[in-house]
Amino acid sequence: MDADDLDFSPSPIGVRVVALERRKTDAPLRIEGRIAASRAVQLKAPTSGIVRDLSVQLGSRVAAGDLLCTIGAEAQEQRTLASEAQLHLLEAQVEERRDALAQSRARPEPPDRIASFESKLRTAEHRLEHERVNRLRHEKAGDLVRILAPFDARVAAVSAAPGATLVSGHLLIELVEIDPAIVVLEVPTWVAARCREGAEVRIQADSDGAPRVGRVTRWAPTASDGARRLLIEVPNPDGMLAAGEGVVAALDVGERQAFFAPRAALVQADKAVCLQLVEHSVARIQRVRVVGGDDDEVEVAGKLDGSPLVVLHAERQLKERSEVVIRGDH
């Protein structure tokens, strides 16, 4: 036999399978999601300078209008004092020029001499008005050195230390408002269509002992045509729910046709939950989402159709388009 006649293709992989079951159900969908803040803001240095009076810490609660820190306050105070001193000096000069003009008219002085005094008075008045504008600018800049909380919030990050010298635009503090908390879910489009605004949703957070009841506020499009982002508002007066925390939401979407598979058939591939399906003796790796079920059987959603066979066990690792041979009954 010639070497060209030898078959080096891998032998089919033996698998045990069960049928992916499709049936009606009205059980609530269980969708995993994340908690987000209802409002968030990053406060940056409005000017360059030294950070003072920074007393907030990570997790601190602040009220609207609270002083969080100052930046460049000493330098700004020096500029303000210098401007005030210059203003008083110019005011005195204007009075002096007015007195000189009045005396020249009373004597009387020659017209060209009076015109000279009038010119000097106009110059002094112009400089005075310019310095008054400068003083207003310094007063407004003085407001900028005081960093105030724009709303009631919790401190999510502190990116500066007391005594540090920062440039304008450097991140100082990040604030988040977490009451109410916003639960963000990515759901199939048909699920979003059945979740009306104001509908109640039970939410179970990782750190919460008991479920909470939230309400659907709205949904938004995603990069995928087949999915929508559902937003649920959940009361959080005790502040136990934290931004970024995982949750499971129970969505009542009524009766539907659903696919069910054994929980043991779920596998991880490319950091996603998948099912290994068999079609015409070829393996197909299909991403799915677990949206319900129990310890033995799960409801799955994804690009599924018909009644494909689901791999329960494979003799070797399966890849997309691997050839398989079914062992045993199914």
Widest CA span of the chain, in angstroms? 134
pLDDT at residue 66, rounded to an integer: 92
**Phi and psi (nearest 5°) for 140?**
-65, -40
Whether the CB-CB separation of 298 and 20 falls below 8 Å is answered with no
Whether the CB-CB separation of 176 and 37 falls below 8 Å is answered with yes
Mean pLDDT of the chain: 85
User: What would the pLDDT profile of 98-109 be if each residue is shown by its tens digit?
Assistant: 888 888 888 888
Between the alpha carbon of residue 148 and those of residues 6, 65, 69, 70, 145, the distances in Å are 78, 5, 7, 9, 9
Pull the structure tokens for residue 148.
């105030």
Whether the CB-CB separation of 236 and 181 falls below 8 Å is answered with yes
CA distance linking residue 168 with residue 77, whole number of Å: 18
pLDDT at 173 over 90: yes
Lowest mean pLDDT among 1-15, 35-49, 94-108: 1-15
30 burial type by CB count under 10 A (0-12 exposed, 13-18 middle, 19+ buried): middle
Lowest mean pLDDT among 52-56, 183-187, 222-226, 250-254: 222-226
pLDDT at residue 202, rounded to an integer: 92
Average confidence (pLDDT) over 184-203: 88
What H or E segment, with its residue span, contains residue 144?
helix 111-144
pLDDT at 1 over 60: no
pLDDT at residue 2, rounded to an integer: 52
Whether the CB-CB separation of 173 and 43 falls below 8 Å is answered with yes
Local confidence band at 324 (pLDDT 50, 70, 90 cut-offs):
confident
pTM of the model: 0.63
User: What would the pLDDT profile of 194-249 be if each residue is shown by its tens digit?
Assistant: 888 898 999 998 887 788 999 999 888 887 777 889 999 999 888 788 888 899 99
CA distance linking residue 57 with residue 174, whole number of Å: 11
pLDDT at residue 172, rounded to an integer: 92
Question: Cα angle at 243 between 238 and 247, to 5 degrees?
Answer: 85
pLDDT at residue 55, rounded to an integer: 84
Residue among 76, 205, 195, 192 nearest 145 (CA): 76
User: What size, in residues, is the chain?
Assistant: 330
Parallel, antiparallel or unpaired: strands 13-19 and 324-326: parallel
27 burial type by CB count under 10 A (0-12 exposed, 13-18 middle, 19+ buried): middle
**Phi and psi (nearest 5°) for 215?**
-130, 140
Q: Half-sphere exposure of 66 toward its Cβ, with a 13 Å CA cutoff?
A: 17
**Tokens 């203003």 belong to residue:** 87
Other residues' Cβ atoms within 10 Å of the Cβ of residue 17: 22
Whether the CB-CB separation of 219 and 229 falls below 8 Å is answered with yes
CA distance linking residue 173 with residue 54, whole number of Å: 10
User: What would the pLDDT profile of 269-288 be if each residue is shown by its tens digit?
Assistant: 888 889 999 988 889 998 88
pLDDT at residue 9, rounded to an integer: 65
